[in-house]
């Protein structure tokens, strides 16, 4: 309708023009001329309910003793536990302060295992250690007589260290 009584400029269907199903005997509406409701729909069938979508529920956390959970801390720090064990350990860490402290210490240790640098020793370390051993100054206090055998052995070690070459 254009220029309706309410002063609207667009087409509007009046309530009288809308098709209202008529009632048939027995209180069932007459649906003649209405679009089909679906292949399985019938006036007597209850309305279809939406299917429930299964929701993934995390597995229940197994109940393990404190001793078992404490023994799993090392494996947990290395991420070597199963999902259930990990969940149980993490649940336990929220309520057990000693285990939480141990877990932090172990995680820090695992971080040290994954270093970016080389684990090989400095090639000059051997020479520096030997120089430090051989460059020691003599004792200021004379060695007592009962320590004379020890002093003799350390003198032999000093001589042996001087004789060892870099290739050895």
Residue 76 included in any domain: yes
Which whole number is the average pLDDT over 85-103?
A: 91
Rounded-to-integer distance, Cα 45 and Cα 25, Å? 18
Q: Higher confidence at residue 143 or residue 8?
A: 143
Residue 96 included in any domain: yes
Which whole number is the average pLDDT over 75-79?
A: 89
Residue 152 included in any domain: no
Residue 19 included in any domain: no
Token readout for 53 is: 């979508």
Residue 86 included in any domain: yes
By C-alpha distance, which of 59, 112, 68, 61 is closest to 90? Answer: 61
- In the chain, the number of structural domains is 1
Rounded-to-integer distance, Cα 141 and Cα 139, Å? 5
Q: What are phi and psi of 112, to 5 degrees?
A: -70, -30
Specify the DSSP class assigned to residue 28: P
Summarised one tens digit per residue, pLDDT across range 26-53 is 555 555 555 555 555 555 656 666 666 6
Domain residues for the domain of 74 are 66-113
Rounded-to-integer distance, Cα 103 and Cα 85, Å? 14
pLDDT band at 99 (very low <50, low <70, confident <90, very high): very high
């Amino acid at each position: 309708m254009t220029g309706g009584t309410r002063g609207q400029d667009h087409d509007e269907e009046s309530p009288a023009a809308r098709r209202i199903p008529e009632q048939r005997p027995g209180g069932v509406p007459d649906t003649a001329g209405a679009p089909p409701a679906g292949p399985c729909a019938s006036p007597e069938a209850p309305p279809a309910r939406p299917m429930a979508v299964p929701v993934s529920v995390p597995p229940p956390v197994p109940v393990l003793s404190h001793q078992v959970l404490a023994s799993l801390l090392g494996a947990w720090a290395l991420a070597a536990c199963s999902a259930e064990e990990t969940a149980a350990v993490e649940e336990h860490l929220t309520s057990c302060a000693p285990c939480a402290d141990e877990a932090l210490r172990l995680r820090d240790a695992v971080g040290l295992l994954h270093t970016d640098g080389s684990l090989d020793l400095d090639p000059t370390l051997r020479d520096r250690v030997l120089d430090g051993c051989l460059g020691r100054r003599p004792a200021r206090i004379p060695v007592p007589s009962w320590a004379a055998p020890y002093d003799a052995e350390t003198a032999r070690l000093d001589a042996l260290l001087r004789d060892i070459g870099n290739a050895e």
